[in-house]
Chains A and B, each alone.
Chain A
């Protein structure tokens, strides 16, 4: 299905904890139905991950999941999503990932029966296709393993299926470093959406067969990479913000192919997805400072349905193990929002979440509910994925320029140079043909076009 209208009449209608189409999943859990709930993710400390070590690995997960579930009960949390994000070895070694899923699910089941704790399990399968370079996105051996992993994880107890897929990344990685717009348009406007259609058609099929939820994807490989590079002053912030807007189009494709949310936590493009689809989203901000730096600690919360810590490794802190500690942090964040919802004060909180971050960085500006709504409106006006991507980038440039003009946001000259350049080049590279012609001489060696159906 190609979305050609918006789910909400204005951006004011978008609110945290409320989605137009709530998702029912797991142990009696409903997402986006009037509450913001925590999504907790955790990962192994430094350790070897292979079959010889499987006992120790299962023990770590047992410890982490039990600790988290226990705190959820003590803090009387009305519901939560537990995310199990595969390390690459857990997808490659299909049985290993499935065993961790099964064990986690069992613990969740016990807590549901013993304490009435409502939870659902998200399994995020690792995109293992691109170890080969250039990657074989459709015909490589890893492709089959990956789908097998989706299937087995669903059978062993995953309620929500997700992935941070990487189609187009082989080009985007270099194009980002070079701040090369034709390269970025090739990656995000031509390659990534094609791969998303291919991938999510299959994931949706598997989800239907196994009676679980196809949840959503994340532009991590593109927009978060850009964001981290900009934070380290390697590339301009403007470039990273524009890439965020462009990447919303490829993330939307998952929903066109049948995903129904919640979107992935590290997909900061989530508000655009919610504006278009009305499905619940997951976001992360200040309580994910354990995983990476961001400029969007508060604003990321403004319209979210799940609130996540992205990932923390199982290390001991003074008050307990890190996953439990972050469960507690997320719980208090959610309590505040839910209290506001219950008392009819949500508009005030939403406004403060937005205004406290909005004009302090272009990243925050671009994911604000208003900007996201604008970008979403631009996207649904167009038909092709390419034109949507290009227009989304142009919309982001306009939003940034307006903020600078109105003196809401100040940008140094060296950033403005890139804004000017990108705005000009968006006009210049107006069709797929133009982009291919401009980008292929530089990027053809990195990509196998036939692996994208080209």
Chain B
């Protein structure tokens, strides 16, 4: 049984070079990729998430850790895919049509990625049709919509409606967010949930896929 403390510590400190070395070393010692992921990389990133929530880390520190994580993941990925290990879930995120505010959306993506979700980023000013198309192509389990303007919030409704019209609404969970958005609005337009910040967005995503499986 390998002790993964050191690998976890690399992620927490954001030490990319050592993360690469240690991940490789674990593999060379014959440890299964899934175990390295579940007991080394992910728990390390969980500590980072906790430190961020407790106000000990800022986003810049978290990004450095995320990079170390990605290096480890990159080494494991071919092996994980070969053994058919899936990410927690796939999340398609994007800022709705007419809107280019994307910092909030990007933060949500960073936090989700750190919690083991696979992220497909549709970018900004994304039309309802494009969301539908990308959701199909990627097989996303969750759609995360962001809007910061009162004058673009209605595009969230248009997007939900587009999935409805396409007949694919029941294949995807939709969560929404952004400064002017509320729980009420989510209910009103038929979305599955609203989260006021990135940390709660992660919780919500977990609940949403938990409920569907």
Partner-B contacts on A (CB < 8 A):
43-49, 87-89, 130-131, 133, 173, 177-180, 225, 229, 232-236, 313, 414
Cβ of B116 within 8 Å of any chain A Cβ, yes or no, is no
B103, B125, B151 pick with most chain A CB within 10 angstroms: B151
Cβ of B209 within 8 Å of any chain A Cβ, yes or no, is no
In contact, A229 and B60 (Cβ under 8 angstroms)? no
Contact sample, A vs B, 24 pairs, CB 8 Å cutoff: A43-B150, A46-B153, A47-B150, A47-B151, A48-B154, A49-B151, A88-B99, A88-B100, A89-B151, A130-B100, A131-B100, A131-B125, A173-B102, A177-B60, A177-B107, A179-B59, A225-B103, A229-B103, A233-B55, A234-B58, A235-B58, A235-B59, A235-B60, A313-B180
Interface SS majority for chain B: loop
Chain A residues, CB < 8 A from B98: 49, 88-89
Task: From B58, B107, B185, B197, give the contact of A236 (CB < 8 A).
Answer: B58
Q: Per-residue 0/1 for B99-136: is the Cβ within 8 Å of any A Cβ (1 yes, 0 no)? A: 11011001100000000000000011100000000000
In contact, A178 and B151 (Cβ under 8 angstroms)? no
Cβ of B149 within 8 Å of any chain A Cβ, yes or no, is yes
CA distance A47 to B180 in the complex (A): 12
Chain B residues, CB < 8 A from A44: 150-151
CA distance A133 to B185 in the complex (A): 30
Cβ of B137 within 8 Å of any chain A Cβ, yes or no, is no
Task: From B99, B154, B180, B197, give the contact of A232 (CB < 8 A).
Answer: B197
Cβ of B56 within 8 Å of any chain A Cβ, yes or no, is yes
In contact, A45 and B197 (Cβ under 8 angstroms)? no
Distance in Å: Cβ of B56 to nearest Cβ of chain A: 7
CA distance A287 to B133 in the complex (A): 44
CA distance A370 to B169 in the complex (A): 58
| B99 to chain A: closest residue by CB | A88
Distance in Å: Cβ of A230 to nearest Cβ of chain B: 9
Cβ of B63 within 8 Å of any chain A Cβ, yes or no, is yes
Distance in Å: Cβ of B130 to nearest Cβ of chain A: 13
Distance in Å: Cβ of B93 to nearest Cβ of chain A: 15
Say which size band chain B's interface belongs to: 20 to 34
Q: A47-B150, A177-B60 are in contact. List 8 more A-B contacts (CB 8 A).
A: A45-B150, A47-B154, A48-B154, A87-B151, A89-B151, A173-B106, A229-B103, A234-B107
In contact, A234 and B124 (Cβ under 8 angstroms)? no
Task: From A47, A49, A234, give the contact of B59 (CB < 8 A).
Answer: A234
Distance in Å: Cβ of A440 to nearest Cβ of chain B: 18
Top 3 A-B pairs, shortest CB-CB distance: A179-B60, A87-B151, A49-B151
CA distance A49 to B147 in the complex (A): 14
In contact, B123 and A133 (Cβ under 8 angstroms)? yes
CA distance A233 to B59 in the complex (A): 8
CA distance A46 to B55 in the complex (A): 34
Chain A residues, CB < 8 A from B197: 232
Chain B residues, CB < 8 A from A177: 59-60, 63, 103, 106-107
Distance in Å: Cβ of B190 to nearest Cβ of chain A: 16
Distance in Å: Cβ of A253 to nearest Cβ of chain B: 23
Chain B residues, CB < 8 A from A47: 150-151, 154
Distance in Å: Cβ of A297 to nearest Cβ of chain B: 19
In contact, B60 and A178 (Cβ under 8 angstroms)? yes
Contact status of A131 and B56, CB under 8 A, knowing A87-B149, A87-B151: no
